[in-house]
Amino acid sequence: MDQEFKRWTRLLRAIEAGTKIELDGYILNDSFRSNLEKFVKLCLENYNKNDLAPVVYSVIQEMLLRATVSNLREYFCQENGIDFFDQNSFDSSEEQFRKFLNTLDLKAVRDSLKSKDLFLKVIIRHNHTGLAAEVFNNSKSIPFIEERLRKYLASAMEYKNLMDYYNSYPEDKEGKNLGLAFSILMLRETGLKPELLRISSRNDVHISRLEIPFGEEYK
């Protein structure tokens, strides 16, 4: 208990000093989620922005979930001999991949992802003007998936409600890919700018970035 208290005291002091927050891992498990939620809450409390914590945490978690699924897709395809650069092979294995996600052993898969160096990283930079959170992962870039994502984001930026998503993707009756669109809607409803949620790739690393201005002076 004392060690845990000292740990969070050190973290709080680091946040007060403006030190960036970093979280590293290989799988989005309960421990990763819990630490992320605590870090986000402490950071926003430091700037009296507690009311933003639920939305900011939810959006970063969605960014992490997409990064995790991307890494898991590469692992799954390699283990099952599926050419994930071939669109037909990729799409025809979707149901099998969903079953894998629902039944995976988190610890075993984490160890496998670690051995393949398929990582997750969160970096949160902050000061009195705002907060910027970046999520990194390093699964291989798949051109047709990146094109789908660009179209998805372009559409999602125009959504006014959840029904707009289902009108755009009537085949996704269960809302399996709703998360990012829902995040954009949450940002808009909170009065934040959804266009400050960006996704890019650089040097074989995928980056999702969320900026949360605290005022007009944001920099």
Per-residue pLDDT at 5: 58
Nearest residue to 52 via CA among 124, 122, 104, 2: 124
Q: Quick one: DSSP state of residue 132?
A: E
Entry pTM: 0.92
Supply the pLDDT for residue 105: 93
State residue 4's pLDDT score. Answer: 65
Position 217 scores a pLDDT of 77
Q: CA 200 to CA 142: how far, in whole Å?
A: 13
| Non-local CB neighbours of 205 within 8 Å, separated by 6+ positions | 136, 137, 138
- The β-bridge partners of 205 are 202
Q: What is the pLDDT of residue 122?
A: 98
pLDDT the model gives residue 97: 96
Residues of the chain with pLDDT under 70: 1-6, 219
The set of residues, in sequence order, having a beta carbon less than 8 Å from that of 219 and lying 6+ positions away, is 129, 130
Per-residue model confidence (pLDDT) at position 202:
86
Q: What pLDDT score does 173 carry? A: 80
Distance CA 30, CA 106 (A): 10
Q: Exposed, middle or buried: residue 56 (CB in 10 Å: 0-12, 13-18, 19+)? A: buried
Cα separation, 83 vs 88, whole angstroms: 9
Q: How far is residue 26's CA from residue 109's CA, in Å, rounded to a whole number?
A: 9
